[in-house]
Amino acid sequence: QVQLVESGGGLVQPGGSLRLSCVASTSINYFTYLGWYRQPPGKERELVAAITRSGITHYADAVKGRFAISRDNAKNTMYLQMSSLEPEDTAVYFCNELRRVNSNYEPIGSWGQGTQVTVSS
């Protein structure tokens, strides 16, 4: 079974940056679509960013211009570079394999433990 493991979260001040990593147990080229989700306290999980095998990216409006998703095939790793962080970005962040359904993305893998990101002064 393919596994994805998230890491890189932590406590950061508003305006700061963090880079999250998602390491795959197999070649990352296995995945046509990959994405980052987040679940803020007391709220539902939401898609933050997605990336295709060819490197095409998509972002939620709330993070456009601040977050950047990328994948390193040699390291079997996907990243989420987060900048200009805001308290509203506080959440547990998860990575998952996606599928495209019409113009939307849906998660199709099992969820890992995620990595906690807390933005606070």
pLDDT tens, residue by residue, 23-53:
999 998 889 999 999 999 999 999 999 999 9
**C-alpha distances in Å from residue 115, one per residue of 29, 30, 102:** 23, 23, 29
pLDDT at 2: 82
CB 38 within 8 A of CB 93: yes
- Average pLDDT of 51-79? 96
pLDDT at 36: 98
CB 39 within 8 A of CB 111: no
pLDDT band for position 114 (cuts 50, 70, 90): very high
Cα Rg, the chain, nearest whole Å: 13
pLDDT at 77: 97
Mean pLDDT of the chain, nearest integer: 96
Q: What is the rounded CA–CA span in Å between residue 16 and residue 82?
A: 8
